[in-house]
């Protein structure tokens, strides 16, 4: 394997080089495994997409450097117990009756799949397939019951005292007494969070338990029993379970949120106790809402996957996510136009990027190692489409009319029909939902009316139709100066009086886009 460090500077290549360096001088004798985790207590979301996308980019960078075999394991912990009833699911009363049971043993609240987790994992697969990710889906129920973890479980049972020595000091003192990393499933009521381990039988790979615990309003049934730790008789508590996966599958690389750094450190210690080697880890920062607060599914702040895709293509979201994952990012709906325009700007510049530098460009990673980067050389962007629809006063936008105006602005735009259709479709949706309901027009002041009418007169001159963007932009400064008004104040008046917006586009490009005659119409409609 070629382990020469590449010249690429983008973060996925730096991470890929860390993976390669972890092998030392010897090449790996099997596929290199990248893992992502998913808790099937709810539907996949934008964080799910971000983790799988980022992991994919590191894996692709690894393949690009050395050509080695690698794959992503998308692991779903469907043996996790249901701790509370999700607020956004149907059949809440039924779910409440199954609190404490593994998700794979709870009926599907939607009534269409074999289990609660079966429904959610199906949605995960559908979600990942929609975006073309390459992965191997594995579930905890399948892995435990098929014996994938049996050898690791035996090791953990034989070294449980060492594991406790590592974990107990990290817990609150009142929770330490009687705590065990093993979570046996009660043979009578089926719960796992109400069972308490009473003894270990290392030689027989078994343990005994009593189901007398409580959490919230849920209580154990009082049953006592003995069970094997193998083939699904137990599952491990979260941090030990994570270590068990790393040990059993030989995971080489895994990402996790900044909030899981302590868990990752503890799991790494446990892997070493087991005689294994922890994977290369990489923590990423959290997404924040508009107020700078951490995004929470339960709170519902930030932006959902469906919301983003309603207003912009998935590639723009991937571009947003690609940027430095170690920096916390505000993620909310009204930043979509800026992100989309930045993505389009990268598309325009990509053909000029030298071939030996393309792999450092976000588009190379976003578009499958540069294999399907769209060609787009038009100056038209997302914001322009929104400004055009706004200026045309369209409450029911006409795509053909929008295309007609855009073609006047850029006669070559028809060459990029795929990108253009997406721009119009998504841009119109954003305008109708996010801009139109928030428009607030104000009347022009007496002073502003004078300046608007002076602008109208200049635009009615025969030479105005042939003016270029810069000339039209300069016209605002000339008219404002001639009428003793600050140009910035006049720009603000244009946005607020003509467009009903607090801010707006650069006047020169806007007038060129919608046409001088349309600007005159707007002045006549709003000013007189």
Specify the residue for token string 């020169």.
508
How is the chain split among helix, strand and coil, in percent rounded to 5?
50, 10, 35
Q: For 3-21, what is the mean pLDDT?
A: 86
Q: What is the pTM of this model?
A: 0.92
Residue 6 belongs to a domain? no
pLDDT of 268 above 80 = yes
As a whole number, the mean pLDDT across the chain is 94
Residue 77 is given by DSSP the state -
3-state secondary structure 10-62: CHHHHHHHHHHHCCCCCCCCCCEEEEEEECCCCCCCHHHHHHHHHHHHHHHHH
pLDDT at 297 over 60: no
* Domain that residue 513 falls in: 446-526
Tell me: do 132 and 253 sit in the same domain.
yes
pLDDT at 250 over 70: yes
**Residue 495 within any structural domain of the chain:** yes
Phi, then psi, of 147 in degrees rounded to 5 = 90, 10
Give per-residue pLDDT as tens, 411-439.
Answer: 999 999 999 999 999 999 999 999 999 99
Q: How far apart are CA 512 and CA 382, in angstroms?
A: 16
63: burial class by Cβ within 10 Å (0-12, 13-18, 19+)?
A: middle
Q: Are residues 276 and 229 in the same domain?
A: no
Q: By C-alpha distance, which of 130, 148, 151 is closest to 139? A: 148
Q: Does 313 lie in the same domain as 279?
A: no
CA torsion angle 483 489 492 496 (round to 10): -70
Average pLDDT over residues 504-516: 93
256, 381: one domain:
no
Rounded Cα distance, 312 and 335, in Å:
11
Q: Read off the pLDDT of residues 458-480 as tens digits, 9 standing for 90 and up.
A: 999 999 999 999 999 999 999 99
Predicted confidence band of residue 296 (pLDDT cuts 50, 70, 90):
low
Say what the pLDDT of residue 298 is.
Answer: 52
Instruction: Give just the sign of the alpha carbon dihedral 360, 363, 368, 372.
Output: negative
Mean pLDDT (whole number) for 32-44: 92
Asked if residue 492 and residue 377 are part of one domain, the reply reads no
Q: pLDDT above 70 covers what percent of the chain?
A: 98
Give which of 16, 519, 501 is closest to 1, Cα–Cα. Answer: 16
Closest by CA position to 251, among listed 59, 65, 102, 64? 59
CA separation for the pair 299, 288 (Å, rounded): 12
- How far apart CA 160 and CA 236 sit, in angstroms, is 12
280 shares a domain with 223: no
Q: 350 — phi, psi (to 5°)?
A: -60, -40
Single out the residue in 284, 316, 348 at which a domain terminates.
284
| Claim to verify: residue 511 and residue 463 sit in the same structural domain | yes
Where among 196, 218, 236 does a domain terminate? 236
The β-bridge relationship of strands 253-257 and 280-284 is parallel
478, 487, 488, 509 from 481: Cα distances, Å: 5, 7, 11, 21
pLDDT band at 25 (very low <50, low <70, confident <90, very high): confident
Structure confidence by residue, pLDDT tens digits, 45-98 = 899 999 999 999 999 999 999 988 999 999 999 999 999 998 888 999 999 999
Q: What is the C-alpha separation between 525 and 356, in angstroms, rounded?
A: 55
Q: So what's the pLDDT on residue 92? A: 94
Rounded-to-integer distance, Cα 102 and Cα 80, Å: 5
* 457, 499: one domain: yes
Using only C-alpha atoms, the chain has a radius of gyration, in whole angstroms, of: 30
What does the pLDDT read at residue 4? Answer: 53
pLDDT band at 27 (very low <50, low <70, confident <90, very high): confident
**138, part of any domain:** yes
Q: Is the pLDDT of residue 6 over 80?
A: no
We report the CATH number of the domain holding residue 467 as 1.10.10.350
Rounding to the nearest 10 degrees, give the CA dihedral for residues 286, 292, 298, 302: -90
Q: How do strand 234-236 and strand 182-184 relate by DSSP bridges?
A: antiparallel
Q: What is the 3-state secondary structure (H, E, C) of 98-114?
A: CCCCEHHHCCCCCCCCC
The answer to whether residues 420 and 487 touch, using CB atoms and an 8 Å cutoff, is no
Looking at the structure, tell me whether residues 260 and 226 fall in a common domain: no
Which two structure tokens, joined as six digits, stand for 452?
A: 């608007």
**Residue 177 lies inside a defined structural domain of this protein:** no
The CA-to-CA distance between both ends of the chain, in Å, stands at 75
Say yes or no: 345 and 412 in one domain: yes
Six token digits for residue 493: 């008046």
Q: Which of 435, 443, 399, 441 is nearest to 420 (CA)?
A: 399
pLDDT-based confidence at residue 234 (cuts at 50, 70, 90): very high
- 4 found inside a domain: no
Lowest mean pLDDT among 297-306, 366-375, 443-452: 297-306
Query: Phi, psi (5° rounding) for residue 506?
Result: -65, 125
**Number of domain units in the chain:** 4
Establish if 85 belongs to a structural domain.
yes
Task: Kindly state the average pLDDT of the residues 24-39.
Answer: 90
Residue 92: give its domain's CATH number.
Answer: 3.40.50.620
Rounded to 5 degrees, what angle do the CA atoms 383, 386, 391 make? 125
Secondary structure letter of residue 359 according to DSSP: G
**Residue closest to 449 by CA, chosen among 517, 526, 521:** 526
| Count of helices and strands (H, E) across the chain | 21, 14
Q: Which residue is it, tokens 């699911």?
A: 89
Residue with tokens 């014996």: 147
Question: Is there a single domain that holds both residue 41 and residue 73?
Answer: yes
pLDDT mean over 443-471: 96
Q: What is the pLDDT of residue 301?
A: 66
Residue 386 within a domain: yes
Assign residue 27 a region: left if phi > 0, alpha if psi is -120 to 50, beta otherwise?
Answer: beta
3-class SS letters over 346-382: HHHHHHHCCHHHHHHCHHHHHCCCCCCCCCCCCCCCH
Sign (positive/negative) of CA torsion 444, 449, 453, 454? Answer: negative
Tokens found for residue 490? 């006049």
b or e along 168-196 (b: 16 or more beta carbons within 10 Å of the residue's beta carbon)?
eeeeeeeeeeeebbbbbbbbebbbbbbbb
Residue 150 lies in a domain: yes
pLDDT digits (tens, 9 = 90+) for 351-405: 999 999 999 999 999 999 999 999 999 999 999 999 999 998 877 888 999 999 9
For residue 75, give the H/E element and its range: strand 70-76
Residues 351 and 400 in one domain: yes
């Amino acid at each position: 394997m070629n382990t020469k460090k590449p010249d690429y500077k983008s973060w996925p290549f730096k991470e890929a080089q860390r993976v390669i360096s972890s092998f030392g001088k010897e090449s790996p004798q099997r596929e290199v495994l990248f893992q992502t985790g998913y808790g099937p207590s709810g539907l996949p979301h934008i964080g799910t997409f971000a983790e799988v996308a980022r992991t994919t980019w590191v894996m692709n960078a690894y393949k690009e450097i050395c050509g080695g075999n690698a794959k992503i394991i998308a692991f779903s912990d469907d043996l996790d117990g249901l701790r509370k009833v999700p607020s956004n699911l149907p059949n809440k009363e039924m779910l409440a009756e199954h609190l404490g049971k593994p998700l794979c043993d709870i009926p599907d609240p939607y009534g269409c799949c074999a289990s609660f987790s079966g429904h959610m994992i199906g949605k995960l697969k559908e979600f990942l397939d929609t975006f073309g990710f390459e992965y191997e889906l594995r579930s905890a129920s399948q892995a435990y019951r098929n014996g994938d973890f049996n050898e690791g479980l035996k090791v953990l049972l034989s070294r449980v005292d060492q594991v406790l020595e590592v974990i107990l000091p990290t817990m609150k003192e009142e929770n330490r007494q009687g705590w065990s990393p093993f979570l046996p499933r009660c043979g009578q009521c089926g719960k796992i969070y109400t069972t308490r381990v009473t003894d270990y039988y290392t030689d027989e790979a078994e343990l005994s338990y009593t189901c007398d615990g409580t959490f919230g309003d849920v209580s154990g049934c009082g049953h006592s029993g003995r069970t094997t730790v193998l083939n699904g008789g137990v599952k491990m508590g979260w941090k030990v379970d994570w270590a068990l996966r790393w040990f059993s599958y030989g995971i080489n690389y895994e990402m996790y949120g900044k909030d899981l750094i302590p868990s990752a450190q503890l799991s790494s210690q446990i892997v070493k106790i087991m005689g294994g080697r922890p994977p290369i880890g990489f923590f990423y920062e959290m997404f924040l809402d508009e107020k700078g607060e951490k995004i929470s599914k339960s709170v519902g702040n930030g932006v959902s996957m469906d919301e983003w895709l309603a207003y912009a293509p998935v590639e723009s979201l991937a571009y947003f996510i690609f940027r430095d994952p170690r920096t916390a990012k505000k993620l909310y709906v009204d930043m979509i136009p800026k992100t989309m325009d930045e993505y389009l700007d990268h598309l325009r510049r990509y053909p000029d990027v030298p071939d030996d530098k393309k792999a450092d460009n976000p588009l190379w990673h976003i578009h499958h190692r540069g294999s399907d980067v769209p060609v787009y050389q038009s100056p038209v962007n997302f914001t322009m489409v929104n400004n055009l629809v706004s200026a045309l006063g369209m409450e029911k936008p006409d795509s053909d009319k929008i295309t007609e105006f855009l073609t006047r602005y850029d006669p070559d735009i028809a060459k990029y029909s795929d990108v253009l259709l997406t721009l119009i479709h998504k841009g119109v949706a954003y305008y109708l939902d996010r801009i139109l309901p928030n428009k607030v027009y104000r009347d022009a002041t007496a002073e502003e009316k004078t300046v608007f009418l002076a602008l109208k007169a200049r635009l009615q001159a025969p030479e105005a139709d042939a003016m270029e963007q810069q000339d039209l932009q300069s016209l605002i400064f000339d008219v404002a100066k001639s009428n003793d008004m600050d140009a910035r104040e006049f720009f603000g008046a244009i946005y607020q009086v003509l467009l009903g917006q607090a801010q707006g586009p650069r006047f020169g490009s806007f007038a060129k886009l919608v046409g001088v005659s349309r600007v005159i119409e707007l002045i006549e409609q709003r000013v007189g």
